[in-house]
Amino acid sequence: MSSDYFAVDPEGLAKNAPNMRAYSDQMRQVLTRLQSRLNELGDCWGDDPMGKAFAEQYLTPRDQMFSGLQGLVDVLDSTADGLETMAKGFHQTEEQNTATARGFERATDAATGPDMDPRTSGGSHSSGRARG
């Protein structure tokens, strides 16, 4: 069953952006520490035939892992940016809709006068307000 409305909690979106940033920072730290530690070890497998065979099997997957972790960091950063952007956009849309609705109310009041019922099509129908 589909609904006829769409609801968003802009504050909820904005509140979760820092969490995404924290996850991104954590993964960035993991990647940096891993790269640093592996760089400290250097090419410790040697250059004999067995070391060369190891390097052939190790280097490409290692680089792919680095790339994958960096991709995860990038996605988490992008998600945080998206949450912030969507929260701001939905908040601005709500503010604009509220301002527009207030403009309609003022226009209706000005067109009908204080003693006119805006639900009728002309004529001087009382709105039920007491005159003072």
Rounded CA-CA distance 16/20 in Å is: 7
CATH number at residue 45: 1.10.287.1060
- Asked if residue 24 belongs to a domain, the reply is yes
What pLDDT band is residue 110 in, cutting at 50, 70 and 90? confident
Q: What is the pLDDT of residue 102?
A: 87
130 in any annotated domain:
no
Q: Does residue 120 fall inside a structural domain? A: no
Positive or negative torsion for Cα 82, 83, 87, 93: positive
Q: Per the domain annotation, does 107 fall within a domain?
A: no
**Span 27-44, average pLDDT:** 97
Cβ-Cβ contacts under 8 Å for 70 (sequence gap 6 or more): 31
Residue range 44-96, pLDDT digits in tens: 999 999 999 999 999 999 999 999 999 999 999 999 999 999 999 999 999 99
Q: What pLDDT is stored for residue 7 in this prediction? A: 87
Among the residue ranges 30-34, 35-39, 56-60, 115-119, the one predicted with the least confidence is 115-119
Tokens 């988490």, located at residue: 76
pLDDT level of residue 132 (50, 70, 90 thresholds): very low
pLDDT of 41 strictly over 80? yes
- Domain membership of residue 122 (yes or no) is no
- Asked if residue 105 is part of any domain, the answer here is no
Cα 51 versus chain centre, distance: 47
- Residue 6 placed within a domain: no
Q: Which domain holds residue 46?
A: 11-54+61-93
- Residue 109, domain member (yes or no): no
Number of domains present in the structure of the chain: 1
Residue-wise pLDDT tens digits, 111-131: 776 665 555 555 444 444 444
